[in-house]
Structure 1
């Protein structure tokens, strides 16, 4: 089995359940409040590890109570965490997640120590990239850190996965070095100036990204499924129908499962179908990391991807 390295963010999520989103200036009484370990990087690492992947993580936490909770969480998930650094000048990143009765969410993130991850930290842990087979990246850490990781991983001929979230400018000169570029429909629209209303729109956006240089593009479409595109292939994958409770981390579950599938040398159809099932499991539970499935959870999911 191939080794997975995740370089990215760790956040403490404060999750509020409410029957509806408050309007500007409105105070509304919520229904439930919880605190969880989260962050796109950590979520994707946990998603892959919980399925049985061999996972290492690089990131930065504040040297505070939330940071200590993250370290304990990584230990529990059997994720190698010696390269998750503690910063004495910044607090651990936090996210405010508000979820309505339909499972839709609005999120405010204060990155905190995540923004203190430096290129020198990546250079100091260069051996971890050399020892890994798959490198997974998102954009909740500084972009120069992401670029440094891509360049090192490319030089070592690693499989590079980039989840461009939150959406922002990405150096197109690096596109050819990325093996799997995985935005959702909102991020795809922002990156291509292509409004996505249907599968054909998504394919057009993916073609733009392929022409930019990305080798393989997967656009996740929420409850509409996902598409896979490269220069030789287009394929649509249907969603599964579940009753959503919280859509937080559905994308992270998808990407962690994809990384795990690649580590097992599965074919792309099997990988994406499993990733969609994993996302389906995730949205049926509250919270980011608590909702990430085990392989047994995925196998027990009765709905079948068609």
Structure 2
């Protein structure tokens, strides 16, 4: 079973010809609304790949909250632990996406900001029972720290997506088995531009392994004694919003199934690539059949 503690948002997506510059008013090409949030996306990604996935978090007492819960249920995610926060809006993300698939995101947490240590205390026995636990940084950092300190020392396996990038020095990073920044987040977290040097900064904090999600370059797996590059799968991208979430969900599924880390990264790379070929966050997340077909086509 895969547990996900994190955010759930309504994504408000504007398709644009280019990302606007400071002070620029830009006429958008299209607008759409999709269920999203890094936590919810990763839960849906895991469920679509055949895993039993449970989501832990909060929605607001509003129409968006209703839609977000319904979307999770329709995708096979267990939402029994999700709580509604009264007199609080659900989280939203305003997303600009270009025709080339580039994006910029502004996130307003809403009810996600109310996912606090007391909530973790109520859910700790369930979270600790997961085989793999997926975390991100769209809920309060103190909540993530509280959870990591409360987990048993060896299980579950913890995968931390450090997005949005922020100072993680207050986190007990030694309880994180795998940390999965993208290139920009890796530099922001460490102050290092060199990939290897930046990754070793995170390893020095106690993380078990670093997987850097590097867009068209693919992914890099870095440990204290290993460095390996996994090339990206070639696709025609239309929207990269949920590629990282597809990657993390797939990584969790593969590791929960007992795959070796190298095979798990390749599986995750395929899922991330497929997510880039469709618009929207959760609507873009691939099925198990699609991922396995892509892997089989390349041998």
When normalised by structure 1's length, the TM-score is: 0.94
| Aligned with 2:274 (options 273, 281, 286) | 281
CA contact (8 A) 1:277 1:305 kept: no
The residue aligned with 1:198 is: none
CA apart distance, 1:153: 2.2
The residue aligned with 2:101 is: 103
The residue aligned with 1:141 is: 139
| Aligned with 1:221 (options 214, 221, 225) | 214
CA apart distance, 1:207: 1.7
CA apart distance, 1:144: 1.2
Change (3 A) 1:174 1:97: same
CA distance in 2, matches of 1:64, 1:56: 22
CA contact (8 A) 2:128 2:152 kept: no
Structure 1 unmatched runs, 5+: 196-200
CA distance in 2, matches of 1:257, 1:134: 11
The residue aligned with 2:227 is: 234
CA distance in 2, matches of 1:25, 1:128: 47
Structure 2 unmatched runs, 5+: none
| Aligned with 1:271 (options 264, 269, 272) | 264
Moved more, 5-14 or 15-24: 15-24
CA contact (8 A) 2:14 2:95 kept: yes
RMSD: 1.6
The residue aligned with 1:43 is: 41
The residue aligned with 1:120 is: 118
CA distance in 2, matches of 1:260, 1:286: 23
CA contact (8 A) 2:3 2:134 kept: yes
The residue aligned with 2:12 is: 14
Q: How many residue pairs were aligned?
A: 299
CA apart distance, 1:305: 6.7
Q: What SS is found at the alignment partner of 2:59?
A: strand
CA distance in 2, matches of 1:107, 1:173: 25
Change (3 A) 1:13 1:150: same
CA apart distance, 1:242: 1.2
Q: What SS is found at the alignment partner of 1:12?
A: strand
| Aligned with 1:203 (options 193, 196, 203) | 196
Moved more, 129-138 or 96-105: 129-138
The residue aligned with 2:29 is: 31
CA apart distance, 1:302: 7.0
Q: What SS is found at the alignment partner of 2:94?
A: strand
CA apart distance, 1:4: 0.8
Q: What SS is found at the alignment partner of 1:23?
A: coil
CA apart distance, 1:173: 6.0
Moved more, 223-232 or 242-251: 223-232
CA contact (8 A) 2:8 2:57 kept: yes
When normalised by structure 2's length, the TM-score is: 0.96
CA apart distance, 1:275: 0.6
CA distance in 2, matches of 1:194, 1:156: 30
1:164-183 aligned within 5 A: 164-171=162-169, 174-183=172-181
The residue aligned with 2:249 is: 256
CA contact (8 A) 2:129 2:156 kept: no
Change (3 A) 1:135 1:78: same
The residue aligned with 1:292 is: 285
The residue aligned with 1:90 is: 88
CA distance in 1, matches of 2:233, 2:291: 12
